[in-house]
């Protein structure tokens, strides 16, 4: 069998210039060595940097380069484009021709796996239940699988870490107030929030999986029908999905929406989507009061956020934000793809890092301010008499009809205006201190602490694995008693709340005034008046919803 | 093919996505992607995000959640 060397015909004008350059190799005695002359000529026309360097190093090389440059200029003036573009154009044209002649796709091939999956997940009736089922499974996994790690982190922070700090302070003979500052403000406040890092890692892992697989676009598509009820379209659901992570980037994401009215309405609804900062509040109360059903309660909070957003949207559409001419909703559904583990891990780490950074800055600062307000006037023994207690006590009556009219909760809710996680850090500071502070552990050596941390982590990993496997129907590896681990905060909360008042509080936390960063984003994008409207309407809606839930529950005998 | 692609985008103010271009040119997305990359590299086309801003001007790059959700669009430069 004989083979012939393939040569792509670049067309008369290009071929003439290629031949001219090949001839110049002989004329100027250029040794092309191992390179085919035609290939070298084409590369010179394309002004390939490596080849130019190679030829320039040869005797008479400059003359050949100059000739190639003249050819390129000539071709550009004749054909109206850069030579490298002309060459690439010919190559792509040839490839396209070959593909057309040699590849015949039967019609059936056009129905891809993506189309088949989309037939189900974007189905008129099945699409929405599938979306909510996926969210339900995700939050059950987040809560159940992270619970052993949450207990482990709590044990590490309140055990060995608190012990090391105390030891260090003893070594430098630190005064009692310094002990109080470190243990209550830093460990109680910041540590109380850092405990949720394992849960957030898992939440962001699942969100990244949904995004990278291409499902998120389907969720927007599925929600389009419902968004139209509130005078929006599916495009507005994308910022709302982002709002499950953090409302601030979600507010800026409304820039993708063309109509200003649609943008404003979307921005007013985005903070009703339960952001990750609210998750610590749900988890603390959920695990303290609802145990194994905490995942369901948390899922209900996310679903309630969407429902209230729909209702609020309907009200706005009929009052201050009447719809303008509707624009068509065009959303591209990319093909499903297998998420890349590296990309998912990067996404998960970057979002969690942001949470940890906030714990080390905003929450640390807030915890220090809280500590000052809780301990001044200096020497105050009953925290109710502190500046914080006095201010919180003054506003507490406003929350009494909602079932949580004590000064501790009222104060924690006010501090949540800075960032929602601070509700937990404030409650940690108040209740952990009131219950005698971080539990005094038996004296241990540093090596014993490290071994304990390692063994605890392995235990948590095994427990999480068992919980994960128990999700498979018919497999039950979970020891129910082992699940019922308690934190100091959980025990303290059970003394102050009932399941009904807890539900009312969770609803209030879900719906009340957005954090200061979110209001800043709304002000930046739409002006101060819309930021004020957002703060006022959400607080009013939160109060009414919590009131109806609590008072309705009492009437039905759930108190 | 490249000139056909540029001509296709010339009248599209909001640009087109990879899959829209593939459909209109009746070509495989993998083949079109290589052409788009070359044209972006040569400065003929620009990649824009879902908000219509040029991606190259934004530092988010692979971290952009909007791009992950909606994909890039391509517009003719200048």
Residue of chain A with shortest Cα separation from B66: A253
pLDDT (mean) for A36-44: 90
Residues in A touching B6 (Cβ below 8 Å):
none
Which residue on chain A is closest to B52 by alpha carbon?
Answer: A256
Measure the CA–CA gap between A208 and A346, rounded to whole angstroms: 9
Task: From A313, A302, A341, A267, select the one nearest A541 (Cα to Cα).
Answer: A313
- For A258, nearest residue in chain B (alpha carbons): B51
Taking CA–CA distances from B23, the nearest residue in chain A reads A110
Go through the domains of chain A in sequence order and give each one's CATH number.
12-102 (1.10.287.1770), 117-559 (no CATH)
Distance from CA of B24 to the nearest CA of A (A): 14
Q: Is pLDDT of A195 > 70?
A: yes
Interface check B23 vs A, CB under 8 A: no
Task: Kindly state the average pLDDT of the residues A211-216.
Answer: 81
Residue A42 tokens read as 């084409």
Q: Which residues of A touch B42 (CB under 8 A)?
A: 82, 84-85
CB B38 to CB A81 under 8 A? no
Nearest to A559 by CA among A506, A485, A475, A500: A500
Cα–Cα distance between A138 and A202 in angstroms, integer?
9
Q: What does the mean pLDDT of chain B come to?
A: 78
A453 against A358, higher pLDDT? A453
**Do A81 and B20 count as a contact with CB atoms less than 8 A apart?**
no
The model's confidence at residue A4, banded by pLDDT at 50, 70 and 90, is low
- Class of B2-76 per CATH? mainly alpha
pLDDT one-digit tens code per residue, A97-133: 887 778 776 655 556 777 788 888 888 888 888 988 8
Q: What is the pLDDT of residue A453?
A: 87
Res A471 pLDDT > 80: no
- The mean per-residue pLDDT over the stretch A331-348 comes to 79
Chain A residues whose CB is inside 8 A of the B22 CB are none
Position A421 scores a pLDDT of: 80
Of the partner residues A95, A253, A332, the one whose CB lies closest to the CB of residue B31: A95
pLDDT at A512 over 90: yes
| Six-digit token string for A25 | 């190799």
Residue A153 distance to chain B (closest CA, Å): 28
B27 to chain A: closest CA residue: A96
Name the residue with higher pLDDT: A413 or A140.
A413
Query: SS3 string of A75-135?
Result: HHHHHCCCHHHHHHHHHHHHHHHHHHHHCCCCHHHHCCHHHHHHHHHCCCCCHHHHHHHHH
Over residues B27-35, the mean pLDDT reads 84
- In the predicted model, is pLDDT for residue A538 greater than 90? yes
β-bridge partners, B74: B16, B47
Q: Does B56 have pLDDT greater than 70?
A: no
Q: Between residues A238 and A134, which one has the greater pLDDT?
A: A134
Give A6's DSSP letter: -
Where are chain B's structural domains? 2-76
- Say whether B2 and A89 touch across the interface (CB within 8 A): yes
B35 touches chain A (CB under 8 A): yes
Contact A216 B38 (CB under 8 A): no
pLDDT-based confidence at A312, cuts 50/70/90? very high
* Distance, CA of A255 to CA of A239 (rounded, Å): 9
Average pLDDT along chain A: 82
Q: Are B65 and A242 an interchain contact pair (Cβ–Cβ within 8 Å)?
A: yes
Residue A328 has what pLDDT? 54
Of A85, A242, A253, the CB nearest to B2: A85
pLDDT in tens, A157-184: 878 888 888 888 888 888 888 887 887 7
User: Is pLDDT at A534 greater than 90 in this prediction?
Assistant: yes
Q: What is the ipTM of this complex?
A: 0.78
Distances (CA, A) of A408 to A196, A220, A364, A504: 21, 40, 19, 16
So what's the pLDDT on residue A477? 47
Q: Which chain A residue lies closest to B67 (C-alpha atoms)?
A: A211
Contact A42, A83 (CB under 8 A): no
* Alpha carbons A40 and A18: distance in angstroms, whole number: 9
Interface residues on A facing B, Cβ-Cβ cutoff 8 A: 81-82, 84-85, 88-89, 92-93, 95-96, 99, 211-212, 216-217, 220, 238, 241-242, 245, 249, 253, 255-256, 331-332, 334, 343, 346-347, 350
- % of chain A at pLDDT higher than 70: 91
Per-window interface: B 39-58 vs A, CB < 8 A: 42, 44, 50-51
Residue identified by tokens 């649609």 is A262
Q: Place A483 in a pLDDT band, splitting at 50, 70 and 90.
A: very low
**Cβ–Cβ contacts within 10 Å for residue A5, how many?**
6
> Does the structure show a pLDDT above 60 at A441?
no
Shortest distance between the Cα of B20 and any Cα of chain A, in A, equals 9
Helix and strand counts by DSSP (H, E) for chain B = 4, 3
* Number of Cβ atoms within 10 Å of the Cβ of A33: 8
Rounded mean pLDDT, A458-470: 82
User: Which chain B residue has the Cα nearest residue A209?
Assistant: B68
């Amino acid at each position: 069998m004989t083979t012939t060397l393939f040569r792509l015909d670049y067309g008369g004008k290009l071929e003439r210039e290629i031949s001219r350059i090949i001839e110049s190799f002989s004329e100027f005695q250029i040794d092309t060595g191992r390179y085919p002359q035609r290939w070298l000529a084409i590369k010179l026309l394309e002004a390939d940097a490596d080849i130019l360097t190679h030829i320039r190093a040869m005797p008479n090389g400059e003359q050949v380069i100059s000739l190639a440059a003249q050819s390129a200029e000539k071709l550009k003036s004749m054909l109206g484009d850069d030579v490298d573009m002309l060459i690439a154009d010919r190559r792509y044209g040839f490839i396209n021709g070959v593909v057309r002649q040699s590849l015949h796709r039967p019609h059936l091939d056009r129905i891809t796996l993506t189309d088949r999956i989309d037939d189900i997940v974007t189905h008129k009736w099945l699409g929405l239940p599938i979306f909510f089922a996926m969210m339900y499974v995700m939050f059950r996994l987040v809560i159940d699988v992270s619970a052993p790690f949450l207990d482990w982190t709590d044990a590490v922070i309140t055990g060995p870490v608190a012990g090391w700090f105390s030891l260090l302070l003893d070594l430098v003979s630190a005064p009692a107030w310094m002990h109080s500052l470190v243990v209550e403000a830093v460990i109680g406040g910041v540590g109380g929030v850092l405990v949720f890092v394992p849960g957030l890692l898992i939440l962001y892992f699942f969100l990244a999986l949904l995004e990278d697989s291409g499902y998120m676009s389907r969720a927007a598509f599925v929600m389009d029908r419902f968004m139209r009820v509130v005078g929006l379209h599916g495009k507005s659901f994308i910022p709302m999905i982002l709002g499950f992570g953090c409302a601030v980037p979600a507010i800026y994401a409304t820039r993708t929406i063309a109509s200003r009215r649609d943008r404003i309405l979307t921005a007013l609804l985005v903070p009703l989507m339960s952001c990750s900062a609210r998750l610590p509040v749900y988890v603390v109360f959920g695990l303290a009061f609802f145990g194994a059903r905490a995942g369901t309660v948390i899922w209900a909070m996310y679903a309630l956020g969407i429902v209230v957003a729909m209702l609020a949207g309907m009200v706005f559409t009929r009052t201050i934000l009447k719809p303008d001419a509707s624009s068509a909703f065009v959303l591209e559904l990319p093909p499903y793809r297998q998420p890349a583990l590296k990309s998912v891990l990067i996404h998960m780490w970057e979002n969690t890092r942001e949470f940890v950074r906030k714990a080390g800055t905003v929450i640390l600062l807030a915890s220090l301010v809280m500590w000052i307000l809780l301990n001044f006037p200096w020497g105050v023994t009953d925290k109710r008499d502190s500046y914080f207690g006095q201010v919180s006590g003054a506003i507490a009556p406003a929350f009494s009809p909602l079932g949580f009219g004590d000064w501790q909760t009222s104060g924690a809710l006010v501090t949540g205006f800075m960032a929602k996680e601070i509700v937990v850090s404030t409650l940690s500071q108040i209740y952990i201190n009131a219950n005698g502070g971080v539990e005094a552990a038996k004296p241990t050596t540093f090596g014993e602490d490290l071994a304990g941390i390692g063994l605890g982590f392995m235990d948590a990993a095994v427990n999480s694995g068992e919980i994960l496997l128990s999700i498979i129907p018919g497999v039950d590896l979970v020891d129910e008693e082992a699940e019922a681990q308690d934190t100091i905060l959980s025990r303290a909360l059970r003394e102050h709340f009932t399941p009904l008042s807890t539900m009312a509080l969770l609803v209030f936390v879900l719906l009340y005034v957005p954090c200061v960063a979110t209001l800043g984003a709304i002000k930046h994008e739409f002006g101060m008046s819309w930021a004020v409207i957002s703060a006022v309407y959400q607080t009013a809606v939160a109060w009414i919803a919590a009131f109806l839930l609590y008072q309705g529950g009492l009437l039905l005998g759930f108190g | 093919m490249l000139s056909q692609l540029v001509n296709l985008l010339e009248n599209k103010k909001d640009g087109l996505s990879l899959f829209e271009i593939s459909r209109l040119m009746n070509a495989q997305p993998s083949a079109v992607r290589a052409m788009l990359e070359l044209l972006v590299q040569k400065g003929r086309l620009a990649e824009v995000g879902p908000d219509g801003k040029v991606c190259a001007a934004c530092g988010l790059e692979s971290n952009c959640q909007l791009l992950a959700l909606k994909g890039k669009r391509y517009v003719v430069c200048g």
